[in-house]
């Protein structure tokens, strides 16, 4: 039993060590700007722009549900305009970043791991090395930079969408006026709500891309190994998003 | 000059190379023959630092490959063209982009790059395929693009990993002629790994046979053709039974 626990703990430390080691490789790769700048633009489109629809879709439905559940919870005792407060706070602080993060862990993380893993087994990564490229600068840096930059943007759009759909629900399905909704929205609002959410999403983007790259590049042989790396990347990113979410709550709130 | 010095390399406790020693002189084309799975590709990968030796070393131009820092390793790789066994083209890129990739890295201007790409493609009889993607090419065509990608760099050394395996006899002969031509025109030093004995006789100045992790024999084409070594004889005559135990050779070395 104790052995199992120490083995797990050691495994965890090794994983953290690998992420740290990879981060130093990435920062070395960052110095090789001619290699990664143009590629980063391509990744920004693939990782960022193409993720907007799914993020907006999730946010729209979350807004509806939040508004309805808030009104259901507040019957009588709490004034109805608190619906606005709850929708705003929940979307900005938690559900915007975390739900988007989880969805993109699947979309982006899996994509990176599968693509790099396939490149590894078909020796495309080796080919890059023989052409005197640093695969980290060529493959990992563009993805990591793009995800880190684009996640906050995608999440900001999701926040707007979530609050908007909450407002539309409140006005159309609940007996709430726009004035009341906005009053609730402003009630405990602080600017920190937004940047806290955006800092979180930035860290999620960085994390998802890093894990995808590590898992993808460490594939050793065959299709099965690519499949495993992809699953691992998604599961690990999802778990780490929740851990990181709790971490930010403790540190920043 | 490429020197393999007493190279040892194994995977999961199973030795593949065990004391591999071979000198490749400047300007010559050295053919390395060996059974499938005998470690030919593994040996080549050490030259460009894709694998690190367990013991021994590979020395290129007087530099020990696995001891080089990143910058020097990159400089070394820029002097070596590597033709992968399965081409290893980047499948998200067109043929032109694949060939231009290494040239861009070496800071060649765009117009010069275009010229070089065209020239290299013409050399492998693929003129006009610039805009196709690797997935749209046959295996043999991919292989030729892989060769074009290496040649376009005008490297000092070219390492060919089974350039003719899996090609029809005529295409194989075209590739052989290409390898010979590349050497005659540019004086490039070549290492050709193969088990195609006909190709070995055509392109090789010298031939070495890798067997059970070491070089069994090395000599000129003539010397190899007249060899009395039973293992080498069996290989070049392609006889199923004889001194060499093909099965152990196939599985690497059984300890
Ligand atoms: N990355 C690796 N991990 C584990 N084993 C490996 C690895 N690369 C090669 N091997 C093993 O090393 C041995 C030699 O492989 P290698 O690819 O060098 O053979 P080869 O001589 O090139 O054969 P072929 O002519 O079929 O290409 C094989 O038994 C192979 O399984
Ligand atoms: Mg091979």
Which pLDDT does position A211 carry in this prediction? 95
Ligand nearest to the CA of B37: 1
Q: Closest to A126 (Cβ–Cβ): which among B75, B88, B102?
A: B88
A220 in reach of chain B (CB within 8 A): no
- Segment A220-244 shows an average pLDDT of 93
Contact A119 B90 (CB under 8 A): yes
Site to probe by mutation for ligand 1, drawn from B14, B15, B37 as the one with most ligand atoms within 8 Å of Cβ, is B37
Burial of B125: CB neighbours in 10 Å, binned 0-12, 13-18, 19+: middle
Residues B37 and B245: beta-carbon distance below 8 Å: no
Residue A10: pLDDT band with limits 50, 70, 90: confident
Which pLDDT does position A201 carry in this prediction? 96
DSSP for A98-138 reads: HHHHHHHIIIIIHHHHHHHHHHHHTTHHHHHHHTT--HIII
Which pLDDT does position A189 carry in this prediction? 87
What spacing in Å lies between the alpha carbon of B16 and ligand 1's midpoint? Answer: 8
How far apart CA A216 and CA B195 sit, in angstroms, is 33
Is the pLDDT confidence value at B47 over 80? yes
Is the pLDDT confidence value at B248 over 90? no
Residue of B nearest to A123 (CA): B88
Contact B101 A123 (CB under 8 A): no
B89 in reach of chain A (CB within 8 A): yes
pLDDT tens digits, A72-105: 888 777 888 899 999 999 999 999 999 999 999 9
Strand pairing class (B29-34; B214-220)? unpaired
Looking from the CA of residue B165, the nearest atom of ligand 1 is 25
Which pLDDT does position B185 carry in this prediction? 83
Which pLDDT does position A45 carry in this prediction? 95
pLDDT tens digits, B91-137: 999 999 999 999 999 888 888 999 999 999 998 888 888 999 999 99
- Output the CA angle B96-B115-B73, nearest 5 degrees: 70
How far apart CA B121 and CA B145 sit, in angstroms, is 7
Report the SS3 class of residue A151: helix
Give me chain A's average pLDDT, please. Answer: 92
How far apart CA A229 and CA A231 sit, in angstroms, is 6
Q: Which helix (H) or strand (E) holds A218?
A: none
How far apart CA A213 and CA B93 sit, in angstroms, is 20
SS (H, E, C) chain B: CEEEEEEEEEECCEEEEEEEEEEECCCCEEEEEECCCCCHHHHHHHHCCCCCCCEEEEEECCEEHHHCCHHHHHHHHHCEEEECCCCCCCCCCCHHHHHHHHHHHCCCCHHHHHHHHHHHHHHCCCCCCCCCCHHHCCHHHHHHHHHHHHHCCCCCEEEEECCCCCCCHHHHHHHHHHHHHHHHHHCCEEEEEECCHHHHHHHCCEEEEEECCEEEEEEEHHHHHCCCCHHHHHHHHCCCCCCCCHHHHHCCCCC
- Segment B196-207 shows an average pLDDT of 94
Q: How many Cα atoms within 13 Å fall on the side-chain side of residue A39? A: 20
Residue B243: pLDDT band with limits 50, 70, 90: low
Which pLDDT does position B252 carry in this prediction? 47
Provide, for chain A, the percentages of residues in helix, strand and coil under a 3-state DSSP scheme, each rounded to the nearest 5: 90, 0, 10
Place of tokens 């980290």: A136
Place of tokens 């400089």: B75
- Segment B159-168 shows an average pLDDT of 90
Which pLDDT does position A12 carry in this prediction? 74
Is the pLDDT confidence value at A4 over 60? yes
Is the pLDDT confidence value at B254 over 50? no
Site to probe by mutation for ligand 1, drawn from B4, B13, B16, B18 as the one with most ligand atoms within 8 Å of Cβ, is B16
Where exactly are the structural domains of chain A?
2-252
Give me chain B's average pLDDT, please. Answer: 91
How far apart CA B234 and CA A32 sit, in angstroms, is 51
Which pLDDT does position B139 carry in this prediction? 87
Q: Report the nearest-CA residue for atom 2 of ligand 1.
A: B11
Ligand nearest to the CA of B252: 1
Contact A130 B105 (CB under 8 A): no
Which pLDDT does position B244 carry in this prediction? 61
Side by side, the strands of the sheet bearing B55-60 are B14-24, B2-11, B55-60, B63-64
Is the pLDDT confidence value at A63 over 60? yes
Is the pLDDT confidence value at B198 over 70? yes
B109 in reach of chain A (CB within 8 A): no
A39 in reach of chain B (CB within 8 A): no
Residue A204: pLDDT band with limits 50, 70, 90: very high
Q: pTM of the entire structure?
A: 0.90
Domains annotated on chain B, with CATH:
2-61+74-216 (3.40.50.300)
How far apart CA A132 and CA B48 sit, in angstroms, is 10
- Chain B residues within an 8 Å CB radius of A130: 48, 50, 77, 80-82
Place of tokens 């729209």: A60
Which pLDDT does position A253 carry in this prediction? 81
Is the pLDDT confidence value at B253 over 70? no
Place of tokens 């992968």: B84
Interface predicted TM-score of the whole assembly (ipTM), two decimals: 0.91
B108 in reach of chain A (CB within 8 A): no
Q: Report the nearest-CA residue for atom 28 of ligand 1.
A: B37
- Segment A139-148 shows an average pLDDT of 97
Burial A150-159 (b: 16+ CB within 10 A, else e): bbbbbbbbbb
Q: How many Cα atoms within 13 Å fall on the side-chain side of residue B160? A: 35
- Segment A135-155 shows an average pLDDT of 97
Interface test with B, best of A37, A119, A120, A123 (most B CBs within 10 A): A123
Residues B7 and B44: beta-carbon distance below 8 Å: no
Is the pLDDT confidence value at B251 over 60? no
Burial A76-99 (b: 16+ CB within 10 A, else e): eeeebbbbbbbbbbbbbbebbbbb
Residue A221 carries which DSSP code?
Answer: S
Interface test with A, best of B70, B71, B75, B88 (most A CBs within 10 A): B88
Residue A71 dihedral angles phi and psi, to the nearest 5°? -65, -35
Residue B250: pLDDT band with limits 50, 70, 90: very low
Q: Report the nearest-CA residue for atom 31 of ligand 1.
A: B37
């Amino acid at each position: 039993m104790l052995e199992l626990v120490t083995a797990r703990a050691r495994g965890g430390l090794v994983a953290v060590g690998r992420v740290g080691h990879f981060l130093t490789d990435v920062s070395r790769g960052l110095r090789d700007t001619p290699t990664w700048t143009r590629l980063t633009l391509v990744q920004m489109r693939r990782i960022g722009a193409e993720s907007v629809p799914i993020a907006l879709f999730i946010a729209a439905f979350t807004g509806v549900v939040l508004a309805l559940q808030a009104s259901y919870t507040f019957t009588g005792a709490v004034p109805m305009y608190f619906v606005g407060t709850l929708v705003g706070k929940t979307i900005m602080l938690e559900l915007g970043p975390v739900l988007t993060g989880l969805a993109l862990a699947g979309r982006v993380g899996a994509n990176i791991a599968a693509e790099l893993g396939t490149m590894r087994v078909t020796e495309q990564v080796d080919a890059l090395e023989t052409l005197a490229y640093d695969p980290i600068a060529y493959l990992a840096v563009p993805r990591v930079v793009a995800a880190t930059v684009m996640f906050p943007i995608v999440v900001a759009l999701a926040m707007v969408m979530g609050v908007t759909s909450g407002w539309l629900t409140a006005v159309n399905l609940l007996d709430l006026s726009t004035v009341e909704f906005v009053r609730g929205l402003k009630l405990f609002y602080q600017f920190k709500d937004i940047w806290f959410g955006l800092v979180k999403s930035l860290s999620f983007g960085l994390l998802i891309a890093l894990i995808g790259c590590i898992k993808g590049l460490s594939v050793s042989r065959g299709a099965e190994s690519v499949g495993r790396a992809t699953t691992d990347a998604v599961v690990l990113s999802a778990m780490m998003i929740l851990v990181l979410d709790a971490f930010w709550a403790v540190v920043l709130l | 000059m490429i020197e393999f010095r007493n190279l040892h390399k194994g995977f999961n406790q199973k030795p593949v190379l065990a004391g591999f020693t071979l000198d490749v002189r400047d300007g010559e084309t050295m053919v390395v023959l060996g059974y499938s799975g005998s470690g030919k590709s593994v040996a080549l990968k050490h030259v460009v630092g894709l694998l690190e030796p367990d013991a021994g070393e590979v020395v290129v131009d007087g530099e020990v490959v696995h001891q080089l820092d990143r910058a020097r390793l990159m400089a070394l790789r820029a002097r070596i063209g590597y033709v992968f066994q399965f081409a290893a083209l980047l499948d998200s890129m067109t043929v032109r982009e694949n060939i231009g990739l290494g040239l861009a890295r070496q800071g060649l201007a765009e117009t010069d790059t275009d010229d070089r790409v065209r020239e290299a493609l013409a050399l492998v009889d693929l003129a006009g395929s610039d805009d196709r993607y690797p997935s749209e090419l046959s295996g043999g065509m991919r292989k030729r693009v892989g060769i074009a990608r290496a040649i376009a760099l005008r490297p000092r050394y070219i390492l060919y990993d089974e350039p003719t395996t899996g090609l029809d006899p005529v295409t194989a002969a075209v590739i052989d002629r290409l390898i010979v031509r590349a050497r005659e025109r540019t004086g490039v030093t070549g290492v050709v790994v193969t088990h195609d004995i006909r190709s070995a006789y055509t392109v090789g100045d010298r031939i070495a046979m890798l067997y059970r992790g070491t070089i069994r024999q090395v000599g000129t084409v003539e010397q190899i053709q007249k060899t009395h070594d039973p293992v080498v004889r069996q290989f070049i005559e392609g006889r199923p039974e004889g001194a060499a135990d093909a099965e152990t050779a196939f599985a690497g070395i059984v300890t």
